[in-house]
Structure 1
Amino acid sequence: MLRAGARHPDAADDDSPPVASTSGQAAAAAPDLPQLYATLNEYLLLEHKFQPRLCLPADCENGEVTVGARDGAAHVLRCLKVWFDLPASVLIHAINLFDRFLTKMKVRPCHVPCITVSCMNIAIDEHADLTRQPRNVLVEELVSVSQSACTAGDVARMSRVIVDKLGLVKGCHSVTALDWLRLLRTLVVCAAEELNIDAPLCQESELVNLLEIVVCDAVCANARTSELALVLIYHQLEQQLVEWSRREGNPVPEAAYLLYDYAAQLQAHCHMSDASLVSCRNRVRVVISRYEGRCAATHRQPLVWRLSERTLKVLRPTDRLTSLLPTIEEQHLADASPPRKRSGSEGSDSVDMSDWPRSPILPVYCDH
C-alpha cells in the first residue's frame, strides 16, 4: 500500500489534484516536485511486489501455457479495452495481473480464456474503486464479447482465486508501467520547463499507445516497469531530437541535450544498470519495429468467408446469374423458321420449357 508520503496518480481526490493527471496535463497544473520525488521513492519500494517473472515455453510441453497463448490473451484484453472504451490503465493492469498469476501458478491452456476475462474483471473493479465511479461493464458482457466459452459464475470464481493467490487487498492498488510512465514523463516535462524547452515530449496519449503495444508482447513481459517507462521516454526524446535536426535554419537547442543528463540522473536514482537498460531498450525496439512493419504492410490477406452446411442450404444458388444477355437475332429466326399455324386451343403445358430455370426463380442482372 502506498504510504502517506505518496499518492497513486489515478486516485481521485476532491481536496487536491492528483500527482500525475490521467489526461496528460500534469505539467500545466504545476505539480509539486517534492511530492513527485516522494512518489518516485514509494514506487521503487513497491516495484518488486508487482513485477512478473514469466518462464513460458515457446512450444506446448506437457500441457503448459506457451508464449503464443500469453500474447493471444494480451491481445484479447486489448480488444476488450477497445470494445468497451476502457482507459489504458485497466488494460495494463489486467495484463500485469495475468502475467503475475502465471508467474505464481501453473495453469492449463484450457483455463487461459477464463483467466483472461477474470483479470479484466478485477482490473475494472479496481479502476472503479480507484476513481470512485460506478462500474459500467457487466461480467456477462465481458463473457459474451470475449467468446471465452465460460459463464459469469466461472469468471466470478476465477476472480476470487486470482485475488487470493496474488494477495490483492481492496484499497491497495498495483503500481504498473503506466504509473511509472506518467510519473517519469511529468518529471521530464518539469525539467524541460525549467530549461525553457518547448515540446520536449509528445502527447501522453502517444506514449501510452506505445506502452500498450509493448506490454502486449511477451518479449517485454519480464522487464522492470521502471526501465520500460524510462526506455519509452528515451525513445521519444530521440524522436524529438531527430525532428529538431531536420528543421532548416533552426538548430537544436543546446539545452535539449541536458534532458538526456536529467534522464540519466533518473536512471541512477532508480538503480538501473546500463546493461539492463540497453537490453530492455533493444527488446522495446524489436517490438516497436515489428509493429510498425506490420502496420506498413501493403499486402493483406483477403477475407475468407467460411459458411456452414446449414447456411449453404439457405442461400439461393447464383451459378446461373449472368450480367450479359445474348443478342436475339430476330431477322435470322424469322427467315429460317416458317410461320406456325395455331390449331385449336393450346395451353402453356404443351410448350417446351426444359431450358428455363426451375424453382427458385432467379433474377438476371443487366449492365444497362
Structure 2
Amino acid sequence: MLRAGARHPDAGASTSRGPDYHSLYTTLNEYLQLETKFQPRLCLPAESDNGEVTIGARDGAAHVLRCLKVWFDLPTDVLISAINLFDRFLTKMKVRPCHVPCITVSCMNIAIDEYAELNKQPRNVSIEELVSVSQSACTAGDVARMSRVISDKLSLAGRGSVTALHWARLLRALVVGAAEQLALPLSLPEPQLLQLLEIAACDAACVSARTSELALVLVCHQLEIQLVEWSRVAAEGGPPVPEEAYCIYEFAAHLQAHCNMTDASLTATRARVRRAVARYEAHGAAPQRQRLVWRLSERTLKVLRPTDRLTSLLPTIEEQHFAVDATPTRNRSGSESSESEETSDWPRSPVLPVYCDN
C-alpha cells in the first residue's frame, strides 16, 4: 500500500505539481512498447578460435567510442546511441574481427548524424576526422559504405533509437517529481547519472540486460548514495534521515512492477552494474606506472646525432712541461678543420629538440 505522497505510474496527474505526469506516463508506456525493438542481445564468447568477435573486442570498441566522445567533446547522447547501434548490429549480424574498427567508426558516424538532425544543427565532426583520430586503418569511403550497410540492416529510416539514456532521464524525472510531491530535498544530478551510464554501457554484461532495468538500477544507485549521505550527516549530529526518503524506494518498487521487472533479473542487473563501477573506480585509483617510450622512425634517427661513441669516462690528460724558449712554433699555413677523422661522418643537420610536458 502506498504511503502519503507516493504515486503509482498508472495514476493520473490531476493533482500533481511540477512535471506533467500524464505525459511522462505516456512516454513510459511508449518506451515499454519499443523496448524490445531497440534491445541488444549479445551472445559473444569470452575466447574464440573461429574468428568470432569476443567480449573483450566488443568492450574495446566501446572504449574507443568513449575516447572519440571525449576527444571531440560530444554529448553523451551520441556515445550511448553509437554503442547501442554497435551492439544491435553485432546481435543481428555475424561480424569478423577485422571489420570491427570500421564498424565502430561507422556507428559513431551514424550517431553524430542522428544527433545533428534531431537538434537541427550542423555536424561539427567530419568522417575524415573520425578516421584520423580513431586510427582504424580504414578510409572515409569505407566508413560511408559501412554506415549505409548498418542503416539498412537495422532499418534506421525513421525515428531515433530508444536507448538506456532515454530510460534513465525518464525514470529520473519520475523519481524527482515524486520527491517534489513529498517535499523531499532529493539531489539526483544528471551529470553523475550520465557518467554511471557511460561506465555501464562500456561493459557487455550490463548492456545485455533490459534497458529499463539498467536505467532503474542506475537511478536507485544514486538514491543509495543520497541515503548514505543523509545517514552520515545524521551520525555527525545533523538532522535525521527524512522519513519520506523511504517512500521514494516504494515508488521505485512500483515503477519496477509497472515495467514488469522481476526481483531476480533486477538483482542480477544491480550486481553487474556494481561490478562494472567497482572495476572502473579501481582502475582510476591505481597509480599510472606506464613508462614513457619514444618511438622514432628511421628518418628521424638519421637526423639525430648518434651517441654510441660517447663515453662517461674521459682519458687522463698528462701534463707536459716545456721551456719557454723550447715551445714549438706553429705556422698558420691555411685553414685547418677541428674535427677528427673519428667524428667526420656525423650528420651536419642541427639536432631537433624534443619537448615533453612532464
Fold in common (TM above 0.5): yes
Aligned to 1:206: 192
Displaced runs of 4 or more, over 6 A: 348-353
Aligned to 2:82: 94
Measure how far apart 1:218 and its partner are: 1.3
The structure-2 alpha-carbon separation of the partners of 1:87 and 1:299, relative to structure 1 and needing over 3 Å to count, comes to: closer
Measure how far apart 1:342 and its partner are: 2.9
- Deviation by residue 1:58-80 (Cα, 9 ceiling, x = unmatched): 12321111111111111111111
- 1:181–1:230 Cα contact (<8 Å) kept: yes
Root-mean-square deviation over aligned CA pairs: 2.8
- 1:217–1:287 Cα contact (<8 Å) kept: yes
- 2:200–2:273 Cα contact (<8 Å) kept: yes
Counterpart among 132, 137, 141 of residue 120 in structure 2? 132
Measure how far apart 1:314 and its partner are: 2.1
Aligned to 1:185: 172
Measure how far apart 1:281 and its partner are: 0.5
One-letter code aligned to 2:221: H
Please give the TM-score of this superposition, normalised by the length of structure 1.
0.82
Measure how far apart 1:144 and its partner are: 1.7
Counterpart among 109, 126, 131 of residue 97 in structure 2? 109
Aligned to 1:283: 272
Measure how far apart 1:360 and its partner are: 5.2
- 1:192–1:200 Cα contact (<8 Å) kept: no
Aligned to 1:236: 222
Aligned to 1:246: 232
Aligned to 1:4: none
- Secondary structure of the 2:95 match is coil
Aligned to 1:257: 246
Measure how far apart 1:34 and its partner are: 0.7
Counterpart-to-counterpart distance in 1, 2:68 and 2:148: 21
Aligned to 1:164: 152
Q: Verify: 1:342 aligned to 2:331, yes or no.
A: no
- Secondary structure of the 1:48 match is coil
Counterpart-to-counterpart distance in 2, 1:240 and 1:348: 87
Q: Verify: 1:267 aligned to 2:256, yes or no.
A: yes
Q: Which runs of 5+ in 1 are unaligned?
A: 1-28, 364-368
Task: Give runs of aligned pairs for residues 15-164 of structure 1, distance below 5 A.
Answer: 30-164=18-152
Counterpart-to-counterpart distance in 2, 1:152 and 1:356: 51
Q: Which runs of 5+ in 2 are unaligned?
A: 1-16, 352-358
Aligned to 1:25: none
- 1:92–1:177 Cα contact (<8 Å) kept: yes
Identity within the alignment, %? 67
Higher RCO (C-alpha 8 Å, min separation 6): 2
Q: Verify: 1:173 aligned to 2:160, yes or no.
A: yes
- Secondary structure of the 1:60 match is coil
Counterpart-to-counterpart distance in 1, 2:256 and 2:330: 106
One-letter code aligned to 1:293: A
Counterpart among 199, 203, 209 of residue 223 in structure 1? 209
Aligned residues: 329
The structure-2 alpha-carbon separation of the partners of 1:176 and 1:272, relative to structure 1 and needing over 3 Å to count, comes to: same
Counterpart-to-counterpart distance in 2, 1:280 and 1:52: 15
